[in-house]
Amino acid sequence: MDIVRNADGTLVVPVAPERQHTADGEEGAASGAHAAPDDPAPTSLLLHPGEGGYDEALAEWDLQQNPDRQPVVSTASGRRAAMTLVHHVASSAGDAVASDVKALDDPEATGEALRHVLVGGVHSVEAFSTEVAQAEGGDPLPSHETTKIIGEILTELDRA
C-alpha cells in the first residue's frame, strides 16, 4: 500500500502488522491461546502535520510520486525561491499555491530545494522555517505548518 496525501495535508500511511509467534516461539500463524484478537490491528495510520513521523512520511510520499527521481540537490537560487514561495503562501489569505508555482522561474530547482528540506527531517524543517523568517521577515512558522505548505507546493509542482 502506498502513502496517500489527502487534500487537507494529512497522510494515510500503511502500518506493518505485528508479527505473530507460535507457542514454541517460532514465527508463524498464531493459534489457541496465542491467537490474534478478534479486532485486527489497523493496516493504516492517519498522520497530521506536526505529528511524529509526518515529515518522514511526506518525504516518502514525494518519492513515491516519482520513484526514478535522482537524489535531491538544493541550489542557492532554488532555496531562495523556495523561501520566498513558502513565505508568500503562508502570508496569503487565499489559495495562492497554484498561481505562485506558475510564476516560478525555475520550478525544478525550487522543488528540489523543498525536497531537500523534507529529507532532512524535523530539524531541517525547523531550520528552514527560521531561515525563511530571517530572509522574508516575520516570525518562524511552526514546523508542522511549514511542512504542510511544502507538501501543498510539491503537489502543485507535480501537477505542473
pLDDT in tens, the chain (160 residues): 788 988 888 889 998 777 766 666 555 544 445 555 555 667 888 988 878 888 888 888 888 887 887 777 778 899 999 999 999 999 886 677 888 888 899 999 999 999 999 888 888 999 999 999 999 988 999 988 999 999 999 988 988 7
Grid cell 532554488 is found at: 78
Cα–Cα distance for residue pair 10/17, rounded to 1 Å: 21
Output the nine-digit C-alpha cell for 69.
527521481
Q: Tell me if 3 sits within 8 A of 13, measured CB to CB.
A: yes
In this prediction the pTM is: 0.67
Output the nine-digit C-alpha cell for 30.
498464531
Collect all residues with Cβ–Cβ distance below 8 Å to 70 and sequence separation of at least 6: none
